[in-house]
Amino acid sequence: MKNFKCDCGQTVYFENTYCQRCKKTLGYDPQTAKIIALKKTGPDTWLTTDGQAFQPCRNYLEYNVCNWLTQNGQEYCPACRLNKMVPSLHKPENRREWAALETAKRRLLYTLYSLKLPVISKLDDPERGLGFAFLEDKRRNPNVKDEYVLTGHAKGLITVNLLEADSANREWLRLHLGEAYRTLLGHFRHESGHYYFDLLIRDSKHIENFRTLFGDEREDYDTALAKYYDSNNFADPENRYISSYSAAHPLEDWAEIWAHYLHMIDTLETAATYDLLDHSILEHPLNDRINAWVKLSMALNGMNRSMGLNDAYPFVLSPIIIEKFHFLHSVIYPTSSPNSAAATAEKPL
């Protein structure tokens, strides 16, 4: 994630809605990938310094949970147009946790847009579109119908249990499930991987290469997941999997690799923004970026340990995992070779 500049020259950040220096309203324009400074000139009118008309998303105006902008009379921004269901907002804690979910979702979308991946709303394409549902279950709210809501993906709809936005509950689940890493942004990146498998791989020329690397996705999913959760003896002597959950099923292996690819791409951009890496690294062949990511993640882990914190990135990138990264990269950038360390002139979908 890069940083941005207000019109007045002040450094501002992706989530900012207000400039402390010039006192203008700020909003993110996904069309130009810029933070834009606005001045309110009427009840429903905000103008840029050069006279362009924008409107803050309705979810900002009503709930202060979104800083993306709309134009041409759209009430909701492109990010909020993806929502199929949000939690009841009568309770203050629901509004707070919904805001955390929206923040993570917008960070996912920033990276998807930067990779030039198709982001299609279910409002526009019910069959192939992407949607989000943020739901409670009876553990949190006895008045809802569902006893238990699973965070997951089905036919383009990504469902996230509101409990995941509760940091104490999420940490308990991380420890209970023996996970090295569990965050809201990680959930969004992982579940989006399932969506893009369906969109880019399932019925494509990539499917046989996928099966060679990840396994046969036609393996019964429910049986595989039940076997995974029943077993307490995960072993990976060849380091084929980036996480223990990757071993549950080929589709989970793919989704985990997808999530880690997005982790890498976004964090390298952040490091370059703070001059920890040369900005040109973002245009280098994939192997160069992976090597930079390994060095950077080791430094992040060392800094966390110096502060008495857990490792920021407690994962090992073995040769087979790097091969999976190359395959994923070749799906996004069809002009690159799946196993080429020197692929150039990469062009996204």
Instruction: Identify the CA nearest to 72 among candidates 44, 46, 47, 53.
Output: 53
CA distance 170 to 203: 35
Element (H, E) at 93: helix 92-114
Exposed/middle/buried for 59, CB within 10 Å: 0-12, 13-18, 19+? buried
Which residues, other chains included, contact 250 with Cβ-Cβ below 8 Å and sequence gap of 6+?
Answer: 210, 211, 214, 215, 216, 217, 219
Condensed to tens digits (0 to 9), the pLDDT of residues 236-286 reads 878 899 999 999 999 999 999 999 999 999 999 999 999 999 989 989 999
Q: What pairs with residue 5 in β-bridges? A: 11
Of the candidates 343, 329, 342, the one whose C-alpha atom is nearest the C-alpha of residue 117 is 329
Q: Which of 114, 4, 188, 53 is nearest to 15 (CA)?
A: 4
Please determine, for residue 342, whether its predicted confidence score (pLDDT) is greater than 50.
no
Spatial contact of 253 and 216, defined as CB atoms under 8 Å apart? no
Summarize pLDDT for 10-42 with one digit per residue, the tens.
999 999 999 999 988 899 999 999 999 998 887
What torsion, rounded to 10 degrees, do the Cα atoms 57, 348, 257, 292 define?
A: -100
* Max CA pair span of the chain: 65
- Cα 111–115–120 angle (5° rounding)? 80
Pairing of strands 34-42, 45-47: antiparallel
Q: Which H/E stretch holds residue 167?
A: helix 167-176
pTM (two decimals): 0.91
Measure CA 273 to chain center: 19
H or E stretch covering 109: helix 92-114
Alpha helices in 248-344 (DSSP H): 250-273, 286-306, 319-332
Average pLDDT over residues 124-128: 93
Average pLDDT over residues 279-305: 95
Q: How far is Cα 140 from Cα 250, in angstroms, rounded to an integer? A: 32
Model confidence band, residue 6 (pLDDT cutoffs 50, 70, 90): very high
What is the pLDDT confidence band of residue 112, given thresholds at 50, 70 and 90? very high
How much is the pLDDT for 236?
82
CB-side neighbour CA atoms (13 Å) of 190: 19
Q: What percent of the chain has pLDDT over 90?
A: 70
Are 87 and 136 in contact by the 8 Å Cβ rule? The answer is yes
Q: What is the mean pLDDT of the chain?
A: 90
User: 3-class SS at 153?
Assistant: strand
Instruction: Determine contact, residues 170/164, Cβ cutoff 8 Å.
Output: yes
Helices 319-332 and 250-273, interaxial angle, to 10°? 80
pLDDT exceeds 60 at position 337: no
> What tens digit of pLDDT does each residue of 313-330 get?
999 999 999 999 999 999
Q: Taking CA 23 as the corner, what is the angle to CA 22 and CA 28, rounded to the nearest 5 degrees? A: 95
Separation CA 159–CA 165 (nearest Å): 13
pLDDT score at 49: 84
Mean pLDDT of 291-301: 96
Higher per-residue pLDDT: 222 or 177 = 222
Average pLDDT, integer, range 184-199:
96
pLDDT band at 335 (very low <50, low <70, confident <90, very high): low
SS3 for 259? helix
The C-alpha atoms of residue 172 and residue 114 are separated, in whole angstroms, by 33
Are the beta carbons of 14 and 1 closer than 8 angstroms? yes
Q: What pLDDT is stored for residue 234 in this prediction?
A: 75
Q: What is the pLDDT averaged over residues 285-300?
A: 96
Planar angle of CA 80, 259, 306, nearest 5 degrees: 110
| pLDDT tens, residue by residue, 131-175 | 999 999 888 888 888 888 999 999 999 999 999 998 888 888 888
